[in-house]
Amino acid sequence: MQPRRPYRRESEERRREDLIAAALDLVAEGGLHAATVRAIADRAGVTPGLIRHYFTSKEELTRVAYQRLMEQMTRDSAAVLLDGANNPTAQLANFTAASVSPPVADSVAVGLWAAFVHDVRRDAAMREIHTANYLAFRDMLQRLIAALPRSSSDAQLRRDAIACNGVIDGLWLEGSILPEAFAPGEIISIALTSVGAILNVDLVAAYQPDRTQP
Amino acid sequence: MQPRRPYRRESEERRREDLIAAALDLVAEGGLHAATVRAIADRAGVTPGLIRHYFTSKEELTRVAYQRLMEQMTRDSAAVLLDGANNPTAQLANFTAASVSPPVADSVAVGLWAAFVHDVRRDAAMREIHTANYLAFRDMLQRLIAALPRSSSDAQLRRDAIACNGVIDGLWLEGSILPEAFAPGEIISIALTSVGAILNVDLVAAYQPDRTQP
DNA sequence: AAATGAATTACACATCCGTATAACAAGAAT
DNA sequence: ATTCTTGTTATACGGATGTGTAATTCATTT
């Protein structure tokens, strides 16, 4: 008879984190159907039964993983606002560019995001997660637009934010799924021009590429 | 012993069509994992074995179904160009509006589209289908832009088409996934304003809503 | 050092998956 | 009428899936 596999006890937080990360990993690699209970457990270095000890069902794990993914993406976009923030126009330009560049714009990230779209449509809890994160991103964008040196009504601000968010999302999508269809930097340049045209601001001139990376 | 289930012989085209439709139906309702061989057969009113008589594998059926879906979406967008085509500007406005309205912009359609994104990233054949259809849509848009009463270089035309396609795709996505987040007609209005701003053309004034539907 | 508690493993179960192959029957050909 | 072709059903198989439940072993408490 085989000896029982040895193991270490870990904190609840650590275990949950590992399982979530493993699940997202697998979804990114092989789609939702690749993230089976057994595969997730294997990737996280535990046995399948443990998943049901931390999550009441696979569905719950899925929800939590989606929440984690959305948080991460919003955080990545916002990260660019922290360093090198000179003036509002430059900030908006940098934010726009970052949203259509890696790591936000990335084939794996889009695949991951798309895998959950169906559940978002169907499951109320997933829908709530989506709505909250979408609005958080858009609000961030709207605040950047509001800070521009120009006057604009609240209603117009909302429309501008939706429009700019649209361009960014669309270019994010296409650039990520079909990167070979565009020249290097082309998507960034088009994003800056388009958002600039919508807001009547010169973002191309204001753009300050991150100089820490050549 | 049960009597064997009676059946009718059908043409190859009809059967393939029914199976494809059943597959798309199921993916729309329950995601990719709901479109199992047995469920598809059941929906199409046949037994599971028949699928492998018309398709060498489930993977092939998936590919063909995706191709069918993309064709249909492009066709729906183009349909608006056929009737009531007065002038280039109005045509572009109508095309833009149609692309962010039902039946093109629709929760089910987005769910369907998203379900295939992962396979597009992974499978070369799926990728080819996607690329062809994406470029077909963009070229259609580019031709509409080129017909506008204004001069523009080929390079600029390409950039404009990518940008407008971006706005349209982004708004298509958000409006379809989260329809309750927008007022009726708001997405259409924003799409017209944004595309107009990018191209420096007044699409709002040129827009001629379809009067056959109130 | 012994006992307690719970994190973790191990195993079982019913169901579903895609695929392969053989039996049948519907409709055309003869 | 009878035969022939093949579209269609029926059934089987190995493997995978989510989920329950009992057995263990680690780490803490006593």
Locate all alpha helices (DSSP H) within chain B, ordered by sequence: 12-30, 37-44, 51-54, 58-82, 88-99, 107-122, 124-146, 154-177, 186-199, 203-206
Amino acid A44 CA to nucleotide D14 C1' distance, rounded Å: 27
Q: Give B18's Cβ-side CA count (13 Å radius).
A: 17
Any atom of strand D under 7 A from CB of A6?
A: yes
Q: How confident is the model at residue A78 (pLDDT cuts 50, 70, 90)?
A: confident
Cβ–Cβ contact A209 with B under 8 A: no
Digit-coded pLDDT (tens) for A110-157: 999 999 999 999 889 999 999 999 999 999 999 999 999 998 999 999
Residue in the block written with tokens 């043409």: B11
Digit-coded pLDDT (tens) for B180-214: 999 999 999 999 999 999 999 999 999 988 755 44
Tokens of residue B70, six digits: 């993309």
Enter the DSSP assignment of A45.
T
Q: What are phi and psi of A123, to 5 degrees?
A: -100, 130
Q: How confident is the model at residue B4 (pLDDT cuts 50, 70, 90)?
A: confident
Tokens of residue B52, six digits: 């492998």
For A191, which residue in chain B has the nearest alpha carbon?
Answer: B163
Mean pLDDT of B29-54: 97
Can you give the pLDDT at residue A86? Answer: 74
Amino acid A23 CA to nucleotide D24 C1' distance, rounded Å: 27
Tokens of residue A167, six digits: 């361009």
- Of residues B115, B70, B203, B82, the one with CA closest to residue A118: B115
Mean pLDDT of A177-181: 93
Sign of the Cα torsion A27, A119, A160, B162 reads positive
What span, in angstroms and rounded, lies between the C-alpha atoms of A77 and A103?
Answer: 9
Digit-coded pLDDT (tens) for B18-28: 999 999 999 99
What span, in angstroms and rounded, lies between the C-alpha atoms of B211 and B135?
Answer: 30
Any atom of strand D under 7 A from CB of B9?
A: yes
Q: How confident is the model at residue A46 (pLDDT cuts 50, 70, 90)?
A: very high
Cβ–Cβ contact A192 with B under 8 A: no
Mean pLDDT of A151-171: 97
B133 neighbors A138 (Cβ within 8 angstroms): no
* A4 Cα to chain B: minimum distance (Å): 35
- Of residues A187, A195, A193, A163, the one with CA closest to residue B96: A163
Mean pLDDT of B72-76: 87
Q: What are phi and psi of A188, to 5 degrees?
A: -60, -50
Q: CA dist A105 to A100, A143, A194, Å?
A: 5, 22, 17
DSSP calls for A127-152: HHHHHHHHHHHHHHHHHHHHTSSS--
**Distance from CA of residue B145 to its chain's centroid?**
21
A171 vs B166: CB contact, 8 Å cut-off? Answer: yes
Digit-coded pLDDT (tens) for A5-32: 999 999 999 999 999 999 999 999 999 9
Cβ–Cβ contact A79 with B under 8 A: no
Q: What are phi and psi of B80, to 5 degrees?
A: -65, -20
Can you give the pLDDT at residue A63? Answer: 96
Mean pLDDT of A101-111: 91
Q: What are phi and psi of A163, to 5 degrees?
A: -65, -50
A190 neighbors B166 (Cβ within 8 angstroms): yes
- Of residues A64, A88, A96, the one with CA closest to residue A198: A96
Kindly list the residues from chain B whose CB atom is less than 8 angstroms away from the CB atom of residue A181: 131, 134-135
Can you give the pLDDT at residue A214? Answer: 44
What span, in angstroms and rounded, lies between the C-alpha atoms of A1 and B211?
Answer: 78
What span, in angstroms and rounded, lies between the C-alpha atoms of A67 and A113?
Answer: 11
Tokens of residue A70, six digits: 């959305």
Tokens of residue B92, six digits: 């572009």
The fraction of chain A above a pLDDT of 70, given in percent, is 96
Can you give the pLDDT at residue B85? Answer: 64
A65 neighbors A54 (Cβ within 8 angstroms): no
Q: Give B189's Cβ-side CA count (13 Å radius).
A: 10
Cβ–Cβ contact B142 with A under 8 A: no
Q: Check residues B84 and B22 and name the one with the higher pLDDT.
A: B22
Can you give the pLDDT at residue B81? Answer: 82
Amino acid A17 CA to nucleotide D27 C1' distance, rounded Å: 21
What span, in angstroms and rounded, lies between the C-alpha atoms of A15 and A186?
Answer: 42
Residue A209 reports pLDDT greater than 80 = yes
For B174, which residue in chain A has the nearest alpha carbon?
Answer: A166
* A176 Cα to chain B: minimum distance (Å): 10
Q: Which nucleotide is nearest to B32 (CA to C1')?
A: C17
Mean pLDDT of B15-41: 96
Enumerate residues 6+ apart whose C-beta is below 8 A from A54.
A12, A15, A16, A19
What span, in angstroms and rounded, lies between the C-alpha atoms of A133 and B174?
Answer: 12
